[in-house]
Amino acid sequence: MNLEKLESTLGVNFKNKDLLTQALTHRSYLNENPDFSLDHNERLEFLGDAVLELAVTDYLYRNYSNPEGELTSWRASLVNSKMLATIGTRLELNEFLLLSKGEAKDSGRARQYILTNAVEAIIGAIYLDRGYEFASEFVHKFILPELDDIIKNKLHKDSKSLLQELAQEKVSITPVYKVLNEWGPDHDRHFKIGVYLGEEAVGEGEGVSKQEAQQSAAENALINKGWKE
């Protein structure tokens, strides 16, 4: 695996190359390679998620005087799984991911989720290896440039945000999401989520992450309530 090529793309020369390798290691790879010397990337993903959110929040706070709700919607659009999977594809991370043979063949939604996690894990690895400033530079270089398009085309009005906005406006209730079912191994979980307005079940959705399933449920609820244009 040519990490130098990836480092060049990322604009980061890692002191500890193992951190970058670990960021690219999916849990499924260890199942087939139990003697592999590194852990999978889930802890780095956990860390990177927090660093990403801080970097985006700090940028929005310093550069825009919009209300909190609007800034929150913009941030959600920048850090959601769909956006991060797109960034991961642009960075050609598929070329570097360490996956099981089965996962390597999958190019569907599960792969998109793996790409999302890898981007977050890379941010976590950069933070540990080079510090917050380098991690923030990565976010500024690859993720924040998407903000103009989000604002211009109102892409921050995702289904979940729109449902909350309309539910509060029309019935003065905040939607609540509940996990109805989950299945699959740890590296390939699937979720079924229901959304409720008070006691009323208004929608259901499925996805390879809770966030994706919530968006699907919100979309279903908007249709069921007749609130979708």
pLDDT digits (tens, 9 = 90+) for 25-68: 999 999 899 999 999 999 999 999 999 999 999 999 999 999 98
- Per-residue pLDDT averaged across 61-90, rounded? 91
Say if residue 146's pLDDT is above 90. Answer: yes
Say which of 45, 103, 120, 188 is annotated catalytic: 120
- Mean pLDDT lowest among 1-5, 50-54, 55-59, 131-135: 1-5
- Is-catalytic flag, 200? no
The pLDDT value recorded for residue 108 is: 67
The pLDDT value recorded for residue 50 is: 96
Contact 142, 62 (CB under 8 A): no
- Is-catalytic flag, 49? yes
pTM as predicted: 0.73
Alpha-carbon gap, residue 112 to 102, rounded angstroms: 15
Instruction: Give the sign of the dihedral formed by CA 3, CA 5, CA 7, CA 10.
Output: negative
Say if residue 210's pLDDT is above 80. Answer: yes
Domain range summary for the chain, segments of one domain joined by + = 3-152, 159-224
One-letter amino acid of 44: L
pLDDT digits (tens, 9 = 90+) for 86-125: 999 999 999 999 998 877 777 666 788 899 999 999 999 9
Q: How confident is the model at residue 229 (pLDDT cuts 50, 70, 90)?
A: low
Q: How confident is the model at residue 2 (pLDDT cuts 50, 70, 90)?
A: confident
Say if residue 138's pLDDT is above 90. Answer: yes
Fold of 3-152: Ribonuclease iii, N-terminal Endonuclease Domain; Chain A (1.10.1520)
Say if residue 172's pLDDT is above 90. Answer: yes
- Three-state SS letters, 111-127: HHHHHHHHHHHHHHHHH
Q: What percent of the chain has pLDDT over 90?
A: 72
- Per-residue pLDDT averaged across 70-85, rounded? 89
Alpha-carbon gap, residue 80 to 3, rounded angstroms: 26
The pLDDT value recorded for residue 170 is: 92
Say which of 32, 39, 42, 49 is annotated catalytic: 49
For residue 120 the two structure tokens come to: 């977050």
For residue 129 the two structure tokens come to: 């290896």
The overall average pLDDT reported for the chain is 91
Domain 159-224 classified CATH 3.40.50.880? no
Angle of helix 42-63 relative to helix 132-142, nearest 10 degrees, comes to: 70
Alpha-carbon gap, residue 122 to 98, rounded angstroms: 13
Task: Write 100-106 long-range contacts (CB < 8 A, 24+).
Answer: 100/26, 100/28, 100/29, 100/31, 100/32, 100/187, 101/32, 102/28, 103/26, 103/28, 103/29, 103/187, 103/188
For residue 187 the two structure tokens come to: 């590296």
